[in-house]
Each structure stands twice: as structure tokens, then as C-alpha cells.
A and B are shown apart, each in its own frame.
Chain A
């Protein structure tokens, strides 16, 4: 499995030289499949460049949305395959009471927020609720579960013969409990992440920043590290960087994370997500 980070930022894109190192695009991760296509996790602004890179490569693209907060869908209207009449795009997302996924996304892809209506997209576009049990796409096994974030939000685990990727970009498992002592079955996302080859996990806040944001659905560094330790993933990538964290600040957080991870005697590797980073999983 080949995983590429196309957008690693949370909340809002961050252009400018201060974010040039880690990148300013919002959440988007591409997983290359055997047939040369991509399975795409989230449609933040990073999906725009991914769509350009996909041109002419495959006809049917799957986009798996964790949830519909703006930073995870705002690249959708700039995703080239949606404007290719020869392309077929299936958008998967969390089921929710009341409105179907297509209707919920149409609130964004419609006047006055958008010049194009969802029914006008030239590609053949399908909108599907993610199943509650594992299913297969392009040779990959996908498992989705609801996780702790505001509103219906999914985490994903994608598995092939080379390993498993667990993607939890917006996740606050430490809300209301001590992650270090909680029973694993009662930790949001634990079953999805347990033993993953690669865990991509929310780390929006430094510890000192967390207080006023508790309950907003994101993790502080301490909780991200403890969750990673409890999940026992082989490699952890800290993701969904706060827009106010420039490269200098992210380097500081990276150093603190590495130091605390090593001091804790933890196995596996840990790193900060960086736009453009490619990680290959090997059997």
C-alpha cells in the first residue's frame, strides 16, 4: 500500500511561507491501489492537486469522507474527476438521521455557496452511506466506525496484504476519560487503530492550548501520544495541524512529541504529518 498525504492541515487552508514546510492544504490522503487508481480519504483542499495528478489514470474513483465539516469537503468542488464526463466518482460518507449524504453535501455544492449545482456535475457521481460492516473497494478491505468528534464522524481502517492504515483525522478519544487507564473496548477508535501498520491521528493542539477547546472534537498532543501507545501502531503520523501553528511551531511540537515518545519507552515510530509525504507499507 502506498499512502500519500495531500493535505495535513485542520480547520482552514494556510497559504504562505510560514506553512511551506508542513503544508497548508486541509485533510486529504491518497491510497494507491494495484490498478493505478486512488482511494481517497477526505476531500479537503489537498484533493485538488490529487485530482490533477489522477488525470487520465483511472475511471472510477472512490472518495471516503470521515465527516462533512468544511475542512474535509471544501476541495470537492475543485476535484477534476467530478468535471470529467468519462469519470465515475463514488463518494462515501457517514450515515446521519434525516438527510441522505447527497442532500447534505448539496447544501455546500449549490447556490449561493457554489456556482455549480450537484446535479450539474459532468461525471457519474454516486453518494453512498458507509456500511457498518467491512466491505471491499479496489482490492482493499475497508472498515468504518463512528468515532468521538462533533457530529456523525467516521474513522477508517484500510487493509491489504501489505498492512493496515488507520485514519482518525478528527478525534477526541480523551474527552471525559483517562486514556491511559481506560479499558480498550471503551476507547473511541481503539479497535480500528489497534495494531495498525500506520496510524494517522488528530493532534490539533499542544497541551497548553487544549483547555478552551475541550469538547471541540480534537486531540491534544498528550492524548494523541497515549492513544497511539494504547493502539500499538507500528508508525504514527500526527495530523490535522492547527492553522495557527506555523512551521517553526510544528517543529517544536515534533521535537516534544519525539522526546516524550522516546521517554515513554514506546515502540514504533512517530512523526508529524507533512504535505507530500509518501509512506509505503510492505508485507
Chain B
């Protein structure tokens, strides 16, 4: 999907968050209040499989189908149970550990979601994630 489909003006909270995560090496994505990926950095692109500049916005339905997340048995985890959803719904940081689909397999990750709540309300969330170290895999 192309960026042209995005709203004309992104909230400043998302703009500044994008500026930040575009220069850090930890995998990070930005989601809007609908749960769509509106930006992801180079480190996250490795897991997602394409660069943001090439692909653009990814709707919630698209990334759920491609990336999961999944439990240890490979069953999809409902969107309502994700840390991201808790962050968007409750306006509080949330973390979780689960699997995401990467290159045909499953990668166990830890993810932390930070809600981007500003003076005008919730604007989405920043999610950082990293692989569970081999010696800590469940």
C-alpha cells in the first residue's frame, strides 16, 4: 500500500518518533490508532522483509496475516491480547513475549509498546522488539 493512502497530516508525536527510530539500531515500528504500521525502521525491515521506503503503510490485517504474532504452537494470538493493543487501549506501556513469522519460520521476540499520548489524545504507539537470546528461549 502506498503512503498516499495515509492521512494528509501525521500528528507531531508520530513525526518526532519517526525521526528518532529512523536513526536507532533497535527494531522499531510506529502504529496509528487503528493498529496500522505507518513507519518502521531499517532494523525492523529485516524482520518484516521489505524496507518502508519500498512498501509504505501496512494495514493491521496485512501485517497480522504476514507476521502474526503467534504462540509457541504457531497459533495466531488475537490482536486484542497484544501489548500493542493494551498500549493503545489503556494509554500505558506494555510488554510481551511471543513469536513472529519471519522468512517462513517463527522467531521468538520480546516487544515493548509505548503509547504516544499527547495533549490532544492518543496518536498511536511506538513498538520496539528484539529476538529472545538463544539461552533464554522458552
Q: Do A and B bind each other?
A: yes
Within 8 A of B (CB), among A203-234: none
B 1-27 to A, binary, CB cutoff 8 A, 1 in contact else 0: 001001111111101101110110000
Q: Does A113 contact B (CB under 8 A)?
A: no
Alpha-carbon separation in the docked complex, A148 to B14 (Å) = 11
Give the contact stretch, choosing among A33-41, A94-102, A253-261. A94-102
Does B81 sit within 8 A of A, measured CB to CB? no
Q: Are B8 and A191 in contact (CB under 8 A)?
A: yes
Nearest CB in chain B to that of A131: its residue:
B120
CB pair A177–B118 under 8 Å, yes or no, is no
Q: Report the interface size class on chain A.
A: 20 to 34
Knowing A176-B20, A176-B23, say if A186 contacts B15 (CB, 8 Å). yes
Q: How would residues 25 to 44 of chain B score, 1 for a CB under 8 Å from any chain A CB and 0 otherwise?
A: 00000000000000100000
A191 touches B9 (CB 8 A): yes
With a cutoff of 8 Å between Cβ atoms, the chain A residues found around residue B19 in the complex are: 175-177
CB within 8 A of A185: which of B6, B20, B22, B121? B6
Bitwise interface map of A from 129 to 145 toward B, beta carbon under 8 Å scored 1, else 0: 10010000000000001
Chain B residues within 8 Å of chain A by Cβ, number: 21
* Residue pair B22, A177 in contact (C-beta under 8 Å): yes
* Cβ of B133 under 8 Å from chain A: no
Write the chain A residue with the least CB distance to B13. A146
* A9 part of interface (Cβ distance < 8 Å): no
Cβ-defined partner of B12 (8 Å) among A129, A145, A177, A183 = A145
On whether the beta carbons of B10 and A186 are closer than 8 Å, the reply is yes
Closest approach, in angstroms, between the C-beta of B1 and any C-beta of chain A?
Answer: 14
A152 at the interface (CB under 8 A from B): yes
Whether A146 and B118, one on each chain, are in contact in the complex, defined by CB atoms closer than 8 angstroms, is yes
Q: Which of A96, A129, A176, A191 has the most CB of B within 10 A?
A: A176
A148 near B12: Cβ-Cβ < 8 Å: yes
Residues A132 and B120 in contact, CB atoms below 8 Å apart: yes
Known: A94-B119, A96-B119, A176-B23. A186 touches B18 (CB 8 A): yes
Looking at the assembled complex, report how far the CB atom of B118 sits from the nearest CB atom of chain A, in whole angstroms.
7
Taking the closest CB of chain B, its distance from the CB of A52, in whole angstroms, is: 34
Are B12 and A185 neighbours in the complex by a CB distance under 8 Å? no
Q: Which residues of B contact A145 (CB under 8 A)?
A: 9, 12
A185 pairs with B118, CB closer than 8 A:
no
Rounded to whole Å, the gap between the CB of A147 and the closest CB of chain B is 6
Known: A132-B120, A176-B19, A188-B15. 20 other contacts (CB 8 A): A96-B119, A97-B119, A129-B119, A145-B9, A145-B12, A146-B13, A146-B118, A146-B120, A148-B12, A148-B16, A152-B119, A175-B19, A177-B18, A177-B22, A185-B6, A185-B8, A186-B10, A186-B18, A186-B39, A188-B16
**Chain A interfacial positions (CB closer than 8 Å to B):** 94-97, 129, 132, 145-148, 152, 175-177, 183-188, 190-191
The 3 closest A-B pairs by CB, nearest first: A176-B19, A191-B9, A95-B119
13 sampled A-B residue pairs with Cβ under 8 A: A95-B120, A96-B119, A132-B120, A132-B121, A146-B11, A146-B120, A147-B12, A176-B19, A177-B22, A185-B7, A185-B8, A185-B10, A186-B15
